Amino acid sequence: MSRDLDLKKKWELLKSKISLQFADGEAVDLDAIVYLIGVQELGQGYRTFKKDEKINLMHIAICRLLEPLGYYEFDFFDEDGWPHYTIKEELPFLKAGEQSVLMKEAVIQYFIEKEVI
């Protein structure tokens, strides 16, 4: 199976599972999945987050997703329990479509590690 077809198949399976579990079957997008990963990585359960906290959750998720690829490294938890990462390597310039593929691959790998798919 080609790499692109395999990615698409796994992505659709993951979207379906998450949509059923968190969105009553409504289709979720990459941003929604990244947000959920941020909530998971924060480890404080679901609650109402302020706008700046939502942005920070997305940042946490992106750092965690790109950590295995060598771009970020976990540094510490602050006094409020929020994880902080340091940049190990600058991300290369990627076109929008390339960014999307990179993130989808990282998300799929994350959920494979968590044994969701």
Q: What is the DSSP letter of 73?
A: E
Q: What is the pLDDT of residue 18?
A: 93
> How much is the pLDDT for 1?
56
pLDDT at 110 over 60: yes
Rounded Cα–Cα distance for residues 34 and 64 (Å):
10
Residue 16's H or E segment, with its range, is helix 3-22
Q: C-alpha distances in angstroms, 35 versus 13, 58, 59?
A: 18, 5, 9
Alpha helices in 1-95 (DSSP H): 3-22, 30-42, 51-66
CA 15 to chain centre: 12
What tokens appear for 32 in the block? Answer: 């929604």
pLDDT greater at residue 22 or residue 71 = 71
Tell me the per-residue pLDDT of 60-107, one tens digit each, with 9 for 90 and over.
999 999 999 999 999 999 999 999 999 999 998 999 899 999 999 999
Domains of the chain: which residue ranges?
3-113
* Mean pLDDT taken over the chain: 93
**Burial zone of 105 (CB within 10 Å; 0-12 exposed, 13-18 middle, 19+ buried):** middle
